[in-house]
Chains A and B, each alone.
Chain A
């Protein structure tokens, strides 16, 4: 029987739903978890996952990696996917798609391959959708603010549009603010410091 316990840690509701359904249809049991939890350690102990799939951008990755080394009492050490899997191509695809995965010690890596491929496909599909989704959700006025902040960040940071958008998104996550509000504050800060440096 190939049924595995999968713990999915992700804060993108659309992606969680789609990936959960896909993994269910492969016959796996999926437990979902929003990443903004303070009790990740306990959650991992309780669910005994065979595999954890987590958004590459989640700060909880370090927590997961610590769990296997912090205490000898942690029952099922979770190891980074690559430790058992010498498939550099899959790893590289996963990192590019923004997926990271941890599998419990002793699990055969080949049992995980199909799960990884599914996760990578869903993360890839979602990342091209994300900007579109964001656009559809925001009002025209907000969209203009976001576009302007993106433009200023691209100029100031020398980065591309995708990275500027990611920067805004991460700031919004860190501050717990909405994207248009973060965009406005980025504009304010960068306008104020115009001429400060360079």
Chain B
């Protein structure tokens, strides 16, 4: 056994958003994985991705639970202050879905025999959109996110114009369910638990999942600034290892019941978590915290995300796609993951 590393910093603050995939952070703290690796971690709940980005950028937090595209967007300066960021660990895979209002879903159901037949679901959805007297309103949360890219990608695949056939709006996750039930919106594309909660409360129907649309993809990552990573290589390594072990724990089905008990603690997911423990959605979300390739921050996936940014007009035409590979490698640090996690 090698001598334990001296950590540059033991007391860390990490930001998170109260979604199902903040589980690895909660587990690492509650099950003592941070402690095991010599870290004292305070978890700070944030109400917006914008605040996660700002507090990491301005060093109020050492790192955070981030949307997979966020370190990339921040490195490019696409949203706010340009701050180079990186990730050495993917925290989760998949877990996003599109949910429709009960009214829209019920109407669509009449012409759909099998919801797993994705091409007929897409074609019938398109018909219903084109026949709508008013443009259906579909909500997402944040522009630099898988849920936003997935929605646009899927609409385009069906031949639905995101600008003219539907109205895309943004709303906070906590507003999604009330807006769906009062008719303000016809659907949304968000991460768990917000799809399952609408299904459990029977105010929405599941259209399709992120996994159906893209196949397996990186969803949340541990994001830090490059500056922080350079100054704290040993603490960073300890953090990655602690969270990696927590990811394994969270994925183990034997721990499922306890996982939901932990998530229901204040200030994590609060009472919402208890509703989810025994629920299985009609289409599998395939949300995973560990497994083959799940935790690797793959630069190829980063390049794919850059392509999505380009497609929805977030990158200017002058950005050179040839640089995609280089940019992606500086952000998605597969090399650090492979060096540290074994």
Contacts and interface: CB of A to CB of B under 8 A. Distances in A.
Interface stretch (B94-102, B166-174, B203-211): B166-174
B4 interface: no
B1 to A, nearest CB: 25
Interface residues of A, number: 48
Given A61-B50, A171-B267, A193-B261, A38 B178 contact: yes
B308 interface: no
Contacts of B267: 153, 157, 167, 170-171
B47 A83 contact: no
A63 B171 contact: yes
Given A171-B270, A190-B266, A62 B58 contact: no
A80 B79 contact: yes
B262 A197 contact: yes
A131 interface: no
B58 A92 contact: yes
Contact of B58 (A63, A72, A95): A95
Interface string B235-262: 0000000000000000000000010011
Interface in A50-98: 56-73, 80, 82-83, 91-92, 95-96
A170 B47 contact: yes
Contacts of B270: 171, 174-175
B49 A62 contact: yes
Q: Is the interface of A mostly helix, strand, loop or mixed?
A: helix
A198 B175 CA distance: 34
Interface in B139-183: 140-143, 148, 163, 167-175, 178-179
B42 A158 contact: yes
Given A91-B58, A189-B266, A38 B179 contact: yes
Contacts of B140: 66, 70
B171 A38 contact: yes
B118 interface: no
A180 B45 CA distance: 20
Given A65-B143, A193-B261, A59 B40 contact: no
A157 B47 CA distance: 18
A167 B50 CA distance: 19
Interface string A39-57: 0110000000000000011
A130 to B, nearest CB: 17
A73 to B, nearest CB: 7
A71 B50 CA distance: 19
B313 interface: yes
B178 to A, nearest CB: 7
A127 to B, nearest CB: 14
Nearest to B267: A167
Given A63-B170, A70-B143, A38 B266 contact: no
A196 interface: yes
B174 A158 contact: no
Given A70-B169, A174-B174, A190 B265 contact: yes
A100 B81 CA distance: 12
A138 interface: no
B54 A66 contact: no
A163 interface: yes
B81 A82 contact: yes
B42 A159 contact: yes
Most A CB within 10 A of own CB, among B55, B80, B168: B80
Nearest to A96: B60
B32 interface: yes
Nearest to B309: A69
A73 B42 contact: no
A27 B43 CA distance: 41
Contacts of B184: 38
B79 A62 contact: no
B30 interface: yes
Closest 4 CB pairs of A and B: A66-B170, A59-B172, A80-B80, A82-B81
11 contacts: A62-B48, A65-B50, A65-B79, A65-B80, A66-B142, A69-B313, A69-B314, A70-B170, A71-B163, A163-B44, A190-B265
Interface of B: 30-32, 40-45, 47-51, 54-55, 58, 60, 77, 79-81, 140-143, 148, 163, 167-175, 178-179, 184, 258, 261-262, 264-267, 270-271, 312-314
